[in-house]
Amino acid sequence: MKRGLWLLFLLAWLAAPLLGIVPPFWISLANTIGIATVVVLGLVVLTGVGGMTSFGQASLMGFGAYTTALLNTSLHLSPWIALPASIAASVAAALTLGAVTLRLSSQYLALATLAWSVSLFYLAGNLDLTGRYDGIPAIPAVSLFNINLAAPEKFFVVIWVSVALAMLATANLLDSRVGRAMRALRGGAIAAASCGAPPAQAKLLAFLYAAALAGWAGWLYAHLQRAVNPTPFSFAASTEYLLMAVLGGAGHIGGALLGAAIFTLLNDRLQSFLPLLIPTPGNFELVAFGCLMLVLLQTAPEGLWPHLFRPRPQPRPIDETLALPRRNIPPPGTLLLESIALTRRFGGLVAVDALSFSACAGEIVGVIGPNGAGKSTIFNLLTGVDQPSAGQIKFRSEEITGSNAAAIAELGIARSFQHVQLVAGMSVIENVCLGAHLRGHAGPLRALLQLDCAEEAALFAEAMRQLDRVGLRQHADRPAGSLALGQQRIVEIARALCLDPVMLLLDEPAAGLRHNEKEQLATLLRQLRAEGLGVLLVEHDMDFVMQLADRLVVMNFGAKLTEGAPESVGRNPQVIEAYLGTAA
C-alpha cells in the first residue's frame, strides 16, 4: 500500500517536467539535486552508517564521469554500455584506495581520500588523455529507444529514476544481513566481529558501495553537462557533498535528498536574493552561505532529517513459524573450551598470567576475581578480539589460538560484553538479528535487489524467538539505546543465542538487573545448561554465581588462584584474602 503511494508519487514527479508546467530552470536545479543525492546516498552509507569520513567522493565520481566521456568520445560507445564501465571504474579505484587504508582508523581514511582527491585533480589537469584543464567537451547525449534525452526535462527522468533506484537499493542494503553488519560499524564493531561479521569486510563493502553510487552519479553528470573538466571533481566539491550529507542527517536516506536539495536551493536562491538585500558590488554569497550553514548545523547538529521527521524503527511483521537449521550440540560433558597457560602482556603489565582452565558442554563455569583480575581480558583472548602473548586455546580439542573473532564465532562460541556493544540506533530485534549473521548467506547483491526476503524472514523469526526466550519480546521494535542498561545486557544474550552457540561466554550479565530479572536470567541459564550448552560466566554478584555455577575459577592479578566447586572455593582462605584484603 505504502509502496504503491510512493510509486505514484514518483511517477507524478517524473511526469511533471514533461507536462511543461514546471519552469525549465527548476528542472535544471532538480537535476543538480538529483545527481548530488546519488553521491550523498553513498556518503550516508559510508560516513553516516559506517562512520568513515571521505573527502574523495567527488574524485570517485570523476572516475565515472571521465570513463564515460572517454568511451563515448574516443571509442564512440553507447552511453548505456559506458554506464557499467563508469561504475566499475569508480569501484576499482575505491578498491585500490581501500586496500591501503581501510585497516587503519578512520582519520587515515579521511587523509587518504583527501590526498587522493587533490592529486587526482592535478593529474587530470595535466594528462592529455583527460583533456588537461579544459577537459573533454562534446560528450554525446543519452538516448533511449531513439528518443534523444539531451533536454534537461527528458534527462530529468533518467536522473530521478536513478535517484529512486539508488534510494531503494540503499534502503534494501541497509535493511539486510550485510547492512546490519555495516550499521554495527559505529558502536558495535567488536560485537559484529564476535557474531561472525568482520568489520573490515563491512567497511570495504560500504566504501565500494559509496564508490559505485559516485560512479553512477559521475555518469549522470557527464551526460547532463556533456562536458567534463577537473573542477567538479575536486577536493572542494567532495567537501560540499560531505556537507550535504551532514546537513541532511548523515545516516538517513531521506537526509541525502534533503541535504542535497537545501544546499543547492540555498546556493541558487542566495544568488538571486542577496543582491537585492546588499546592493553594493561585492560578493557576499559565500559569506551568507557559510553563516546559514552554521545556523542550520547549530539548530540540528544531527542533521535536518532527524530534526524534522524524528524517524524511528518501523515495527516489522514476523512469521515465527519459520525456522533455521540448527547445529548439533555435543553431549553433556564433552570438553569444549580449553585455555592452556594463556598469557597476555600489555607492555610491562601482565594482565593474564599462564592461566589454564577448561569448560565442558552442559556446564556453567564461573570466573570470579576482584576488579582488575583480568577476567574481561580472558574473554577477549578466548573470542579472538585480542590475541594472547603466549599459551594455547583449544576448542573441542582443536587448536584455535590466533583465530580471529569471526572464525571463532563460526565454531559456535558466542559472547556478551562487559561494556554493552549494541547499536543504539537499530531496533532491539535488528541488534539480536545481527547474532544470526552466520546463519544467513545473502550477499550484498541479493540484498540490493531484495532477493533475500525468505532468508531475512527466517532470521528475524529466529531473533524474535530468542528475544522471547529472554523475556524482552515486547521491546522488539524499540531503538536499542532506549532500553535500560540491564535490559541491554539481556539483549546481548539474545544476540549471542542467535548464533546457535555451543559455548556461551557472558561478561557480567546480571549487572544492573533487578532481583526478579536476575531470577529470570538464572532460570534461562539453567535451561541452556540443560540443553547442553557450555556457559562461561564472569560475574561480580557472588550470590548469583554461587547458585548457578558448577565450577568456579578464581583469578587474582591475572593468575588463577584456585578452582573448584562453589562451596569449597567459598571456604578457601586465599580467596577470602584476595577479596577482603589481608585478613590475617
Partner 1 sequence: MKFHIALGALIALAAATVAKADTIKVGITVSQTGPAASLGIPQRNSVALLPTEIAGQKIEYIVLDDATDATKAVANTRKLIDEDNVDVIIGPSITPAALAMVDVVGEKKVPLIVLAASARIIEPPTGAKAWVFKTPQNDSLMADAVAARMAQDGVKSIAFIGFNDSYGDGWLTEITRALAAKNIALLDTERYARTDTSVTGQVLKAISAKPDAILIAGAGSPAALPAKALVERGYKGRVYQTHGVANADFLRVGGKDVEGEILPAGPVLVADQLPANNEVKPVAQKYVSQYEAKYGAGSMATFGAHLYDAGLLLTAAIPEALKKAKPGTAEFRSALRDAMEHQTGVVMTQGVANLSPADHNGFDARARVMVTVRDGKWLLLP
Partner 2 sequence: MDASILLILVQDGLVNGAIYALLALSLVLVFTVTRVLFIPQGELVAFAALTYSTLAEGHVPASIFLLAGLGATACLRGLWDARATRNKYGKILFGTLGPPAVVVPLTLWLAPRHPGLAVSALLAVATVAPMAPALYRIAFAPLASASILTLLIAAVSVRFAMVGIGLVIFGPEGTRGIGFSDAFFTVGPLTIPGQAIWIWIVTFALMLALAIFFGRTLIGRALRATAINRLGAQLVGIPAEGAGRLAFTLAGAIGAISGVLVAPLTTIYYDTGFLIGLKGFVAAIAGGLVGYPAAVIAALAVGIVESVSSFWASAYKEVIVFTAVLPVLLVRSLLGPPSEHDE
Residues lying near partner 1 in the complex (CB under 8 A) are found at 22-29, 32, 122, 125-126, 132-135, 137-138, 150-152, 221, 225-227, 229, 231-232, 258, 261, 265, 268-269, 271, 275, 281, 283, 285-286, 308
* Angle subtended at Cα 345 by Cα 342 and Cα 351, rounded to the nearest 5 degrees: 75
Give the shortest CB-320-to-partner 2 separation in angstroms. Answer: 35
Question: Measured from the CB atom, is 6 or 108 closer to partner 2?
Answer: 108
Amino acid 509 reads P
Tell me the number of residues near partner 2 by CB under 8 A: 54
Residues with Cβ within 8 Å of 36's Cβ and at least 6 positions away in sequence, in order, are: 217, 241, 244, 260, 263, 264
Q: How remote is the C-alpha of 246 from its chain's centroid?
A: 17
Give the shortest CB-94-to-partner 1 separation in angstroms. Answer: 22
350: contact with partner 2 by CB under 8 A = no
Report the alpha-carbon distance of residue 158 to residue 220 in Å, rounded.
Answer: 8
Report the alpha-carbon distance of residue 115 to residue 396 in Å, rounded.
Answer: 49
Of 191, 56, 50, 70, which is closest to residue 138 (Cα–Cα)? 70
458: contact with partner 2 by CB under 8 A = no
Residue 5 has a CB neighbour count (10 Å cut-off) of: 9
Of 568, 574, 515, 522, which is closest to residue 370 (Cα–Cα)? 574
Question: Measured from the CB atom, is 114 or 195 closer to partner 1?
Answer: 114
Give the shortest CB-370-to-partner 2 separation in angstroms. Answer: 23
Per the CB < 8 A criterion, the answer to whether 183 and 425 are in contact is: yes
Give the shortest CB-94-to-partner 2 separation in angstroms. Answer: 14
Q: 15 to 54, contacts with partner 2 by CB under 8 A?
A: 47, 51-53
Question: Measured from the CB atom, is 161 or 291 closer to partner 2?
Answer: 291
- Kind and range of the H or E run holding 243: helix 235-248
Instruction: Cite the beta strand spans of 75-190 per DSSP E.
Output: 143-144, 147-148
Which span sits near partner 2 by CB under 8 A: 20-28, 97-105, 459-467, 529-537?
A: 97-105
Give the shortest CB-168-to-partner 2 separation in angstroms. Answer: 26
Question: Measured from the CB atom, is 74 or 126 closer to partner 1?
Answer: 126
Give the shortest CB-478-to-partner 1 separation in angstroms. Answer: 26
Q: 101 to 120, contacts with partner 2 by CB under 8 A?
A: 101, 103-108, 110-112, 114-116, 118-119
Provide the mask over 221-240, with x wherever binding to partner 2 is found by CB under 8 A and - wherever it is not: --------------x---x-
Exposure of 261 by Cβ count < 10 A (0-12 exposed, 13-18 middle, 19+ buried)?
buried
Give the shortest CB-419-to-partner 2 separation in angstroms. Answer: 11
Question: Measured from the CB atom, is 24 or 331 closer to partner 1?
Answer: 24
Phi first, then psi: what are they for 514, rounded to 5°? -80, 170
Give the shortest CB-71-to-partner 1 separation in angstroms. Answer: 18
- CA Rg, the chain, in Å? 28
327 binds, among partner 2, partner 1, none (CB under 5 to 8 A by kind): none
389: contact with partner 2 by CB under 8 A = no
Helix (H, G, I), strand (E, B) or coil at 191: helix
151 binds, among partner 2, partner 1, none (CB under 5 to 8 A by kind): partner 1
The set of long-range contacts for 468-472, using a CB threshold of 8 Å and a minimum separation of 24, is: 469/494, 469/497, 469/524, 470/494, 470/497, 470/520, 470/521, 470/524, 471/520, 472/428
**b/e code 170-197 from CB counts within 10 Å (16+ = b):** bbbbbbbbbbbbbbbbbbbbbbbbbbbb
Report the alpha-carbon distance of residue 423 to residue 87 in Å, rounded.
Answer: 31
Among 34, 79, 135, 199, binds partner 2 (CB under 8 A): 199
110 binds, among partner 1, partner 2, none (CB under 5 to 8 A by kind): partner 2
Give the shortest CB-99-to-partner 1 separation in angstroms. Answer: 30
DSSP states of 109-127:
HHHHHHHHHHHHHHHHHH-
Give the shortest CB-349-to-partner 2 separation in angstroms. Answer: 17
Provide the mask over 124-163, with x wherever binding to partner 2 is found by CB under 8 A and - wherever it is not: --x-------------------------------------
298: contact with partner 2 by CB under 8 A = yes
Per the CB < 8 A criterion, the answer to whether 62 and 120 are in contact is: yes
DSSP states of 13-65:
HHHHHHTT-S-HHHHHHHHHHHHHHHHHHHHIIIIIIT----S-HHHHHHHHH
Which span sits near partner 2 by CB under 8 A: 221-229, 287-295, 546-554, 569-577?
A: 287-295
Provide the edge-to-edge strand list for the sheet that holds 363-368. 413-415, 503-507, 534-538, 363-368, 551-556, 559-564
Among 83, 247, 337, 504, binds partner 2 (CB under 8 A): 247
All cell numbers assigned to 423: 547499536
Question: Measured from the CB atom, is 228 or 400 closer to partner 1?
Answer: 228
Report the alpha-carbon distance of residue 418 to residue 443 in Å, rounded.
Answer: 31
Report the alpha-carbon distance of residue 178 to residue 185 in Å, rounded.
Answer: 11
Question: Measured from the CB atom, is 58 or 204 closer to partner 1?
Answer: 58
Among 92, 141, 171, 289, binds partner 2 (CB under 8 A): 289
Question: Measured from the CB atom, is 125 or 370 closer to partner 1?
Answer: 125
Among 30, 40, 163, 185, binds partner 2 (CB under 8 A): 185
Give the shortest CB-313-to-partner 1 separation in angstroms. Answer: 21
216: contact with partner 2 by CB under 8 A = no
Per the CB < 8 A criterion, the answer to whether 439 and 500 are in contact is: yes
Give the shortest CB-239-to-partner 2 separation in angstroms. Answer: 6
Give the shortest CB-291-to-partner 1 separation in angstroms. Answer: 16
Give the shortest CB-262-to-partner 2 separation in angstroms. Answer: 13
Of 451, 402, 498, which is closest to residue 197 (Cα–Cα)? 498
517: contact with partner 2 by CB under 8 A = no
Q: How remote is the C-alpha of 548 from its chain's centroid?
A: 36
Q: Which residues bind partner 2 (CB under 8 A)?
A: 47, 51-53, 100-101, 103-108, 110-112, 114-116, 118-119, 121-123, 126, 185-186, 189-190, 193, 199-200, 235, 239, 242-243, 246-247, 250, 282-291, 293-294, 297-298, 301-302
